[in-house]
Amino acid sequence: MTEVKEKKVEDIKKEAELLKCPVQRSLYYVREFLNGPMCGRCFPCEMGTYEARIRLENLVNGNGSVSDIDALRRIMNYMLTASMCMKGKNTARFVLEWLGSEDFNAHTKGECPQMECKGLIRYRIIPELCIMCGECKKVCKFNALLGEERKPFQSGFLPFEIRQRRCTRCGECIKVCPTKAIIIESKAATVTSAKT
């Protein structure tokens, strides 16, 4: 079994900051921290980050509430003073920094302003922009695209749309759409006009 070198706490922070949503950043950080540098010796850090992961997962899935944010803040504040080593204290510092963002509150209402939390967003095809080339359907591994390529001799057509139950928001279809007809929007958003 090869020895995986433990990631440094600062490196995990850098990796986390590649993400845009602060909740996603915190969750990524806490998960990586629990996998690696968390030594499990002192109770505030060991049990605190475990609990923090549960709360962050709630927020990311749209099941979060204000009490989750309060709990996170409480845990991180105590970790800052009571942790045994700098790893725990730095973790608390980083997460507290991200907790300062207003985006956290938005997640309690089911919205991810940065459009990154997969449980809170959906992909939608704007029919007016779609040229029915079928490229998206070709790359979708989950069979989430409905629709048929427009054939010139056909009068009617099956428009392209995304089956929300199958879509995992992996982002492959967005990459290949030539007209940028697939947009990411909040799950809670209601479609009021045809053009966004």
Partner 1 sequence: MTNNVNITINGKTFQVPEGMNLIEAAELCGIHIPNLCYIKGMRGIGACRLCLVEIEGQKGPVIACTTKVKEGMVVRTETEEIREIRKFVIDLIVSMHPLDCMTCTKAGVCRLQDYAYEFEIKESSFTRKRFGFSPDEGNPFIKRDPDYCILCGRCVRICKAQGTNVLDFMGRGVGAKVTTAADKPLQESGCTFCGSCIDVCPVNAILEADRWRKGREWDYERITSTCLLCGGACDIVVSTMNGRIMKINASAPEASQERYICAYGRFGYDAIESHGRLSRPMIRINGELREVSWEEALSHTAKLLKKAGRDTSFITTGSILNEDALMLKNFVTLVVKTKNIDSTVSLYGDRDSLISQVADIDEADLIITAGLNPSQWTRALASIDAIIRKKVNGGAKLIVISSDDIPLSGIAHVKLTGNEVEFLKALTKALIDKGLSKDKNLTKLTEDAGVTEAVLKAAELIEASKSPLILSSPVLYGAGANLSLIKGKAVSVSPEANAKGVILMGLVPSGLSIKEMAKGGTGLLYVVGDLPINIRPQVETLIYQGTYMTDLARSADVVLPVASYLETEGTIVDYLGRLKRVTKAIDTEIPSHRDIFKDLAKLMKVSLKPPKETEIKKLIKLPSKAKPSAFEKKEGFDLDIRRFIEQINAPVINNSRLLWLKESGVMV
Among 19, 82, 139, 184, which residue interacts with partner 1 (rule: CB under 8 A)? Answer: 82
54 is a site residue for partner 1 (CB under 8 A): yes
Report the nearest approach of partner 1 to the CB of residue 87 (Å): 13
Tell me how many residues contact partner 1 (CB under 8 A): 24
Contact at 8 Å (CB) between 108 and 66?
A: yes
Contact at 8 Å (CB) between 55 and 68?
A: yes
74 is a site residue for partner 1 (CB under 8 A): yes
Contact at 8 Å (CB) between 181 and 125?
A: yes
- CA proximity to 140, closest of 161, 119, 126: 161
Among 8, 41, 109, 138, which residue interacts with partner 1 (rule: CB under 8 A)? Answer: 41
22 is a site residue for partner 1 (CB under 8 A): no
Q: With 0-12 CB in 10 A as exposed, 13-18 as middle and 19+ as buried, what is 112?
A: buried
Among 7, 15, 42, 73, which residue interacts with partner 1 (rule: CB under 8 A)? Answer: 42
Span from 17-25, 44-52, 139-147, 181-189 in contact with partner 1 (CB under 8 A): 44-52
> 22-35 and 9-16 helices cross at what angle (nearest 10)?
150
Residues that bind partner 1 (CB under 8 A): 34, 38-44, 46-51, 54-55, 71, 74-75, 78, 81-84
